[in-house]
Amino acid sequence: MKVCVIGGAGYIGSHTVYELIDDHHEVVVIDNLSTGQRDAVHPKAKFHFGDITNFEQLDEIFKEETALKPFDAVMHFAAKIVVPESVEKPLDYYHNNVEGVRVMLAVMANHGVKNIIFSSTAAVYGQPENGVCKEDDETKPINPYGETKLASEKMIQWVSDAYDMNYCIFRYFNVAGAHESLEIGLNRDVLTHIIPITVQTALKIRDEMSIFGNDYDTADGTCVRDYIHVSDLAQAHVLGMKYIVNENKSGIFNLGSSKGFSVLEVVNEVSKYKPVNYKVGPRRAGDPAMLIASSNKAKEVLGFETERSLEKIIESDIKYREK
Ligand code: UDP
C-alpha cells in the first residue's frame, strides 16, 4: 500500500515507518521537524517538509503525490503530547492537535483518501474508577492534552461518516523503548517521560530525578501506568491499516500490555542496571493515579499481542542512550 505518515520523523512515527517498510509498503513522510529529526526517517521513505496546520502546504504535497499514485491510507503522529505542557499552553495544543487534524481531514477529503489511522491516548479516559480502561468506557479527560485528542477522535468519526472514510483510532498507553537496530529511539532536547528520565539518571546524564508524588491511592503510593514497547505499538499500526483498508471497517483500540507498573517499580527496575539517584517530590498537575489498558479488543479484532516486557523496554532504552 502507499501510506502517508504525517509526523513520520518523530518518535512513534519513525518506528512505524520502519515497520511499514519491513512489511513492503511505499511510505511518504510529511513532518515539520518541530520535534522530529530528518535522520530518523527510514532511508527508503520519501520525505516532504510540511506542517499539519498549513492547508495549502499539505494540499500541494497530496496533489503531487496523488499524481504519481494515490494514497491508500494516512497515519497521523504529528501531535504535541506532553501533559504538563498542555496544562500550561492549552491554546498551542488545540491549534496543533485539533486544528491540525481538521486540516489533515480536509486535505484527505479533497484528494479522496479513505483511510485514517490516528494516534490517540489513554488520557481520554481521565481518572477511571478502577484504573483499567476499556474502549467503550466513559471518556472524561482531566488535562488539555487528553481533551484535544478526544476532540480529534470525535471529529474523525463525524468526518468519516460524512465522507465515507474508515478510521482506526489507537489509544496509546505509556510508550517507551527503542528500535532494535538502535538507529532510532526517543531523542529530544527536553525529555519528560519517566523511563528515559530514569535511564538518563542511571547513566549520569542527569544528576537526579523526582518521583512526582507518593501519596496516590495505589499499592506503593506512586502512579501506576501500562508500558508498551514502541516497536510493538508500531506493528499494531500495520495491522490496523490492513484491517480498515482490506475489511472496509473502523474501530477504536487500546494499545497497552494490560499490566500496570508503579513509578517506583520502574525506578527499581532501572536500578538493577545502575543506581538511580531519586527524591520524592510533589505531585505533577494532570496526573491520574492509575491507567491500565484492557487490550482484548486489539487482540481479538486485529490479532495484536505485545512481545516485549517492561524489562525489555528498559533494556532497549538503556542501550539506545548508551549508544
Ligand atoms: N513521573 C515522575 N517523574 C518524572 C517523570 C514522570 O514521577 O520525572 C511520573 C508521572 O508523574 C506519572 C508517570 O511517571 O505518574 C508517567 O509519566 P509520563 O510523563 O512518563 O507519562 P504520562 O503517563 O504522563 O503520559
What CATH number did the domain enclosing 98 receive? 3.40.50.720
Q: Is the pLDDT of residue 288 over 90?
A: no
Q: Can you tell me the mean pLDDT for 221-225?
A: 97
CATH number (domain holding residue 303) = 3.90.25.10
273 inside domain:
yes
Query: pTM of this prediction?
Result: 0.95
Please indicate, yes or no, whether residues 17 and 150 belong to a single structural domain of this protein: yes
CA of 207 to the centre of ligand 1 (A): 18
Residue 185 counted as domain residue = no
Instruction: Read off the pLDDT of residues 122-136 as tens digits, 9 standing for 90 and up.
Output: 999 998 888 999 999
Q: What is the C-alpha separation between 254 and 148, in angstroms, rounded?
A: 17
Nearest CA to ligand 1 atom 7: 211
User: Do residue 69 and residue 113 come from a single domain?
Assistant: yes
Q: Are 275 and 199 in contact (CB under 8 A)?
A: no
pLDDT at 130: 86
What are the C-alpha distances in Å from 213 to residues 218, 224, 249, 282, 291?
11, 12, 42, 5, 16
CA angle (298, 300, 303) in 5-degree steps: 70
Residue 46 and residue 29 in contact, taking contact as beta carbons nearer than 8 Å: yes
Residue 281 beta carbon below 6 angstroms from any ligand 1 atom = no
Residue 212 CA: nearest ligand 1 atom is: 7
Within this chain, do residues 132 and 218 fall inside the same structural domain, yes or no? no
Helix (H) or strand (E) holding 301: none
Residue 19 Cα to ligand 1 middle (Å): 27
- Ligand 1 site-directed mutation target among 175, 225, 230, most atoms within 8 Å of CB: 225
Active site annotation includes 145: yes
Cα separation, 99 vs 96, in Å, equals 6
Report pLDDT digits (tens) over 16-46.
Answer: 999 999 999 999 999 999 999 999 999 999 9
Which atom of ligand 1 lies at the shortest distance from residue 193's CA? 20
Please state, rounded to an integer, the average pLDDT across all residues of the chain.
96
Question: Residue 83 — very low, low, confident or very high, per pLDDT cuts 50/70/90?
Answer: confident
DSSP string for residues in 237-261: HHHHHHHHHHH---EEEEES-S--E
H or E element, residue 30: strand 26-31
Query: In testing the pocket of ligand 1, which one of 190, 191, 192, 193 has its CB within 8 Å of the most ligand atoms?
Result: 193
Q: Tell me, what's the pLDDT at 71?
A: 98
Q: What is the DSSP letter of 283?
A: P
* Residue 18 is assigned to a structural domain of this protein: yes
Determine the pLDDT at residue 34.
93
Across the range 75-80, mean pLDDT stands at 97
| Pair (280, 296) in one structural domain | yes
Structure confidence at residue 285 (pLDDT): 80
CA–CA dist 97, 129 (Å, integer): 27
Task: Mark whether 99 and 244 lie in a shared domain.
Answer: yes
Per-residue pLDDT, 312:
97
Q: Clarify whether residues 124 and 207 are in a common domain.
A: no
For residues 45 and 82, state if they share a domain.
yes
Instruction: Find the domain containing 15 and state its range.
Output: 2-176+227-255
Please indicate whether residue 193, judged by its CB atom, sits closer than 6 Å to ligand 1: yes
50 falls within a domain: yes
CA distance 192 to 100: 23
Q: Which of 145, 167, 172, 243 is catalytic?
A: 145
Number of domains in the chain: 2
List the beta bridge partners of residue 175: 228
Q: Is 209 close to ligand 1, i.e. is its CB under 6 Å away?
A: yes
Residue range 156-176: average pLDDT?
Answer: 97
My answer on whether 116 and 208 are in the same domain is no
Among 8, 9, 315, 37, smallest CA distance to 176 is for 315
Decide if pLDDT at 50 tops 90: yes
Q: What angle do helix axes 100-110 and 55-68 make, rounded to 10 degrees? A: 30
Cβ burial of 129 (10 Å; 0-12, 13-18, 19+) is: exposed
Taking only the tens place, the pLDDT of each residue in 243-282 is 999 999 999 999 999 999 999 999 999 999 999 999 999 9
CB of residue 211 inside a 6 A radius of ligand 1: yes
Å from CA of 211 to ligand 1 middle: 8
pLDDT for position 127: 86
| pLDDT confidence bin for 64, thresholds 50/70/90 | very high
Q: 286 pLDDT exceeds 80?
A: no
At residue 301 the predicted structure's pLDDT band, cuts being 50, 70 and 90, is very high
Q: Is 103 in the pocket of ligand 1 (CB under 6 A)?
A: no
